[in-house]
A and B are shown apart, each in its own frame.
Chain A
């Protein structure tokens, strides 16, 4: 390593969101002429770290230095240093043309007569990274295919405009590119690094990271658990480093899973394994976030839920993960929130039977342990964990044989989690089926069977004792890019 100060470095970075510790003393230095591979599973703190580096989040503890100097760090300072970011969700304006997006992204670059200049800049940027790209810079972004949009976004990040790019952060840049385009990008990254630039590369395709990065940092639970030259890692070594250092927990003992039971529902995906769910089974969905798990839950729900009138006993219930956004009805009482799923069963001659509603709500209050003196109080008077319990009770109350859960334990305290796990097991034993997407690997060990998702398809199926952290990590991170993934 040279003695020159690092381009950007964080020391002992700490950041908490409520109950959750996102960064727990992370120290990291990004140097010129280096491509840093950043790997880790969900919740390892990668995205939080990226948001700290690009100035989007302020640190609660620790310090940050740019070019060796302590600085006030925000989005503007990051841009002035020459930091560029390509996010996983696309951040172009779809209603503008490619050239107009270049105009927006490089603010101080243009004068009054900017159109021809912006077209030249966008074309030069695309030519540099993706020779032979075939993208018309006068085309509206919305009219481009997903892969082309991603190419535009990447090319504009490397463009020579405004403060010259010195540090480019690429978060899953190849997720929608096919293999040959991805190779063009990775060789451009190598050229950029050889010319003295710095790149942070986040990817679930380990071969890309191993081939391109000069140094690899492995994160887990908000900490850096390994930081070594890339040459010292192998794919297996990387997966092992991402896994927990503690011993594998013993699986909870329970009766044999009813594997022989006829499947309740079989859902075939365009690629990969079909997803089967049998009555009395808890089926887990795992893998890196955003690889198609939520889409599967939505598809299952759309397929099973009636489009028109709901019957007395619905076929499927859904527990939302984003409580505030699509879970609770914030102006209603706890009781109304709980019983809304079963209204048709609680209705007599077109009117809600209030006595039956009270009885149903009280029954579930004691069963699931909602801590509130009065179910007539507003739902927002409950803690987050208790709100989540209400949503669980709502899903179970309706009596649907299949319950879909979209990462419902986010931001829920440990005690509540244990209670809910108990209820899930009890309900499964009584014959209900659960499909459970969770971003936490530990929760998968409570499932009978687990599908590991990668690139929109179930890439692996694990059952019983096969469900281990190592097996899930291995399946989540592809060794090689999928051919023709687009």
Chain B
């Protein structure tokens, strides 16, 4: 079978990840071990979950600028309520997911720009997080800590979890009817509505999934760091967007890939370590990370041009 456009698209993030990994191993051969890989990808799990959350929103042609604040909020709830009064904590997190679904409903019904609504909501989530934890603190529930530090055979926890998460998200997005519907709304909202589906329901579902994965990201983060802070995940907003795009997603048109998003998140995590191994001063790291992003996107633009030529032929 001829490689489909989607496969070529998916190859880019894998190539980028492979190249970075090769670079890291070359600079620091000791990273090529169970413990080394675990350290390298330690923080990748929450980032991958947040990236998937962003992916569900981008799939319906919206953009979530509150993802970092929301993950921080979920982390604060996990480190306090979920630890002290598990039932109340679970209830709050469930309400947060429902709140996300409601956001999707409001954005669709009132025709509001998602960027503005989520930008506003980012202050709401941040405010709630500060109210819960005015100073860094809290504690991870024991089971969560145990889950995040488990040492499975063969593959370190971070990689095994990333693979499982990618598979689960792939099932939802690429294989289930709901995933097709969500991507259909991103591709051609009108024809989905004409076929008798509820676009409102699809958007609410996409936002609810975003909320769910955001909550999971916050929980995973607390499981790793054992405490929380209202600002703990603020940079996740941009990381998650970059991860989706790096993973072969498009801002509009419902073209997203769950596997790609996870690989994109891993690549971004690794880019930080790679630059540290290069002994690049932290002042330059963000700029260098941006340069890596531009490089990968340029590679994809080239592939897109090839793809278009293929269609025309």
Contact = CB atoms under 8 A, between A and B. Distances in A.
Interface in A94-133: 94-96, 100-101, 103-107, 110, 112, 114-115
B177 A143 contact: no
Nearest to A93: B187
Interface in B191-235: 191-192, 194-197
B195 A94 contact: no
A92 B183 CA distance: 12
B258 to A, nearest CB: 14
A140 interface: yes
A118 to B, nearest CB: 9
Contacts of A139: 4
Contacts of B191: 91-93, 104-105
A76 B196 contact: yes
A104 B197 contact: yes
A104 B4 contact: no
A68 B131 CA distance: 65
Contact of A145 (B4, B192, B311): B311
A371 interface: no
A144 B181 CA distance: 21
Contacts, number: 69
Contacts of A138: 4
Contacts of B5: 140, 142-143
Contacts of A276: none
B83 interface: no
Contacts of B186: 95
A105 B192 CA distance: 7
Contacts of B183: 93, 95-96, 100
A96 B184 contact: yes
Interface in B241-273: 253-255
Given A91-B191, A142-B5, A104 B253 contact: no
Nearest to B174: A100
A107 B177 CA distance: 10
Interface in B129-182: 175, 177, 180-181
B187 A95 contact: yes
A167 to B, nearest CB: 16
Contact of A91 (B175, B190, B254, B307): B190
Contacts of B307: 143
B28 interface: no
B196 A100 contact: no
Contacts of A79: 196
Contacts of A100: 180, 183-184
Interface in A132-167: 138-140, 142-145
Contacts of B253: 94-95
A104 B190 contact: no
Given A104-B180, A104-B197, A93 B192 contact: yes
A75 interface: yes
Contacts of B175: 115
Nearest to B310: A143
Contacts of B190: 91
B4 A94 contact: no
A143 B184 contact: no
Given A143-B5, A145-B311, A95 B255 contact: yes
The residue in B187, B253, B311 that gathers the most chain A C-beta atoms within 10 A of its C-beta is: B187
Given A94-B188, A145-B311, A103 B6 contact: no
Nearest to A79: B196
A112 B177 CA distance: 8
A144 B308 CA distance: 10
Nearest to B185: A93
Contact of A93 (B4, B6, B254, B310): B254
Interface in B275-313: 307, 310-311
Nearest to A153: B191
Contacts of A75: 194, 196
18 contacts: A79-B196, A85-B194, A91-B191, A93-B183, A93-B187, A93-B191, A94-B187, A94-B253, A96-B180, A101-B184, A104-B180, A104-B191, A106-B195, A110-B177, A140-B4, A140-B5, A143-B311, A145-B311
Given A105-B191, A140-B4, 7 more contacts: A91-B194, A93-B192, A95-B183, A95-B253, A104-B181, A105-B195, A143-B311
Q: Which 7 A-B pairs have the closest CB atoms?
A: A93-B187, A91-B191, A95-B187, A93-B188, A95-B254, A93-B184, A104-B184
